[in-house]
């Protein structure tokens, strides 16, 4: 890639992700890619146990440095060593969010020490939008700052718009036209309960997110994990919503699948099925469905006759670490599916990238978390959407209405979504066995090509990354 400077000055980038698998993975990929650029010294900053996770995600050859900030989970009501949403029960997510603000003094010291140790070397900060206060640290120290959105452009823009224009002008019919985009209409079931019920700053959770969103437009720019050719209108909308800040679409940044693949028993099971015949079902790293939805999903899957791999977690209201109880599924379901070689339940963590890249996987029933969306489409796998929270609703709608690679099976915050076994059976059959599914798979393969080309040699996302680095590192540290 082209480098504009001819000096040998080391240019430094500090990256600070939020503590959740869906954020740590793309941040480490971004860090690794930047470190591959000439002379760039890259450091990922986080709390001690997340540093261990980041080390395990980064390729072993990576030169990215890892630096932990002092953090004591028990000061924030969190169990020892449990510093990410992946290890915490749902009711402790908010204490974790809130605890991130306590990292500000240590992060300020870290940046300021880095500046004084080498005042002539450019330095910039890339932070998670949930860590909005990092903008103030950067501004106080005269350092370039960008937010990295680990979600897509369209979903982020809608999410930003909802928070920025709060309180929302709901119509009597329970739907809403977005203030800046009256042609975009949302239902109540597509909006986080915080924006529906928690509408004042006396609610600490609402106030926290409000504080972070208010910082968004103060940054110097936005990096987003998407490709412009895939989300053209999303990137445009994001530019508008972020007040005209520069937006660099540098994705898709994905975790590299581990090798060898064949050692995994689930991959072995997949290999025994015909191409594109297996439905992969997963709700990501933090979400799950209710016990009654779980029964409807199981009955619908069984009736559909489709082979499936289902990553199953305890239902809403239960800690993910409790043992799985048979009573959460229809009687004898797991055993029946195993005996008929029809379905596999993965209790715990699945090798998702490996499953999605396997030729036997034909569709993904997903909560539409952004990493899952990109991982699926990069592999040409269409999506059966069941969005549950946050911007997942807008990811799903965009893929249904604009791209044609998704059909929605259910939608709603947590246990509010209504899903019945007949719908599951009908939709799964049409995606796995009908013409609709074939057409979605064709489109997904086309999108996969666009996404892969964007990060290939000379691709638009590679050029955007270089442009970002030139902009972010063109000024000396300590100057505007």
- Return residues touching ligand UDP (CB under 6 A): 20-22, 25, 255, 282, 284-287, 311, 349-350, 352-353, 369-372, 375
Angle CA 23–124–14, to nearest 5:
45
CB of 291 closer than 8 Å to CB of 378: no
Work out how close the CB of 151 gets to ligand UDP at its nearest, in angstroms, rounded to a whole number.
7
Work out how close the CB of 17 gets to ligand UDP at its nearest, in angstroms, rounded to a whole number.
12
Q: Which is nearer to ligand UDP, 20 or 88 (CB)?
A: 20
Q: Which is nearer to ligand UDP, 371 or 413 (CB)?
A: 371
Work out how close the CB of 279 gets to ligand UDP at its nearest, in angstroms, rounded to a whole number.
15
Q: Which is nearer to ligand UDP, 293 or 372 (CB)?
A: 372
Q: Which is nearer to ligand UDP, 41 or 352 (CB)?
A: 352
Comparing C-alpha atoms, which of 59, 43, 44, 45 is closest to residue 10?
Answer: 43
Work out how close the CB of 389 gets to ligand UDP at its nearest, in angstroms, rounded to a whole number.
8
Residues 6+ apart with CB under 8 A from 324: 312, 314, 347
Work out how close the CB of 38 gets to ligand UDP at its nearest, in angstroms, rounded to a whole number.
29
Q: Which is nearer to ligand UDP, 289 or 311 (CB)?
A: 311
Query: Going by DSSP bridges, is the β-strand pair 383-385/175-178 parallel, antiparallel, or unpaired?
Result: unpaired
Q: What is the Cα 364 distance to its own chain's centre? A: 16
Q: Which is nearer to ligand UDP, 220 or 231 (CB)?
A: 231
Comparing C-alpha atoms, which of 467, 284, 314 is closest to residue 388?
Answer: 284
Distance, in Å, from the CA atom of 169 to the CA atom of 158, rounded to the nearest integer, reads 15
Spell out the alpha helix ranges (H) of 198-351.
204-216, 232-241, 265-271, 291-304, 333-339
Work out how close the CB of 345 gets to ligand UDP at its nearest, in angstroms, rounded to a whole number.
12
Work out how close the CB of 227 gets to ligand UDP at its nearest, in angstroms, rounded to a whole number.
16
Q: Which is nearer to ligand UDP, 41 or 85 (CB)?
A: 85
Phi/psi region, residue 332 (left: phi>0; alpha: psi -120 to 50; beta: rest), is left
Number of Cβ atoms within 10 Å of the Cβ of 77? 12
Number of Cβ atoms within 10 Å of the Cβ of 95? 13
CB of 403 closer than 8 Å to CB of 373: no
């Amino acid at each position: 890639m082209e480098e504009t400077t001819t000096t040998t000055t080391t240019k430094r980038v500090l990256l600070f992700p939020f503590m959740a698998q869906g954020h740590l993975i793309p941040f480490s990929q971004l860090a690794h890619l930047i470190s591959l650029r000439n002379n760039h010294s890259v450091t990922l900053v986080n709390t001690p146990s997340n540093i261990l996770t980041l080390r395990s995600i980064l390729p072993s050859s990576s030169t990215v440095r890892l630096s932990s900030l002092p953090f004591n989970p028990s000061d924030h009501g969190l169990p020892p060593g449990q510093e990410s949403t992946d290890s915490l029960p749902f009711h402790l997510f908010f204490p974790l969010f809130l605890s991130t603000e306590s990292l500000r003094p240590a992060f300020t010291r870290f940046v300021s020490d880095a500046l004084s140790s080498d005042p002539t070397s450019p330095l910039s900060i890339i932070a998670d939008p949930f860590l909005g206060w990092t903008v103030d640290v950067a501004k106080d120290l005269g350092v370039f700052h960008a937010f990295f959105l680990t979600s897509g452009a369209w979903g982020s823009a809608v999410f930003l718009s909802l928070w920025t224009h709060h309180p929302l002008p709901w119509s009597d019919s329970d739907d809403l036209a977005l203030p800046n985009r009256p042609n975009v209409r949302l239902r109540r079931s597509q909006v986080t309960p915080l924006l529906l019920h928690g509408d004042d700053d006396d609610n600490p959770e609402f106030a926290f997110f409000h504080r972070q969103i208010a910082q968004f437009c103060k940054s110097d720019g936005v990096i987003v994990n998407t490709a412009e050719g895939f989300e053209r209108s999303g990137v445009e909308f994001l530019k508008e919503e972020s007040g005209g800040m520069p937006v660099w679409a540098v994705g898709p940044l994905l975790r590299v699948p581990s090798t060898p693949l064949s050692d995994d028993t689930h991959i072995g099971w997949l290999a025994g099925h015909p191409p594109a015949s297996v439905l992969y079902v997963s709700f990501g790293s933090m979400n799950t469905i209710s016990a009654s939805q779980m029964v409807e999903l199981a009955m619908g899957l069984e009736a559909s006759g489709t082979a499936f791999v289902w990553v199953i977690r305890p239902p809403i209201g239960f800690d993910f670490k409790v043992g799985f109880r048979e009573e959460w599924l229809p009687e004898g379901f797991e055993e029946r599916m195993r005996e008929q070689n029809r379905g596999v339940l993965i209790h715990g963590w699945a090798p998702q990238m490996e499953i999605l890249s396997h030729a036997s996987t034909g569709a993904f029933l997903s909560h539409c978390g952004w990493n899952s969306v990109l991982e699926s489409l990069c592999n040409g796998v269409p999506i059966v959407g069941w969005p549950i929270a946050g911007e997942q609703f807008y990811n799903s709608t965009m893929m249904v209405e604009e791209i044609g690679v998704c059909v929605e099976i259910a939608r709603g915050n947590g246990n509010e979504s209504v899903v019945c076994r007949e719908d599951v059976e009908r939709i799964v059959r049409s995606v796995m066995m009908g013409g609709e599914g074939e057409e979605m798979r064709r489109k997904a393969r086309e999108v996969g090509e666009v996404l892969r080309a964007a990060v290939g040699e000379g691709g638009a996302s590679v050029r955007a990354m270089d442009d970002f680095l030139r902009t972010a590192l063109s000024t000396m540290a300590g100057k505007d």
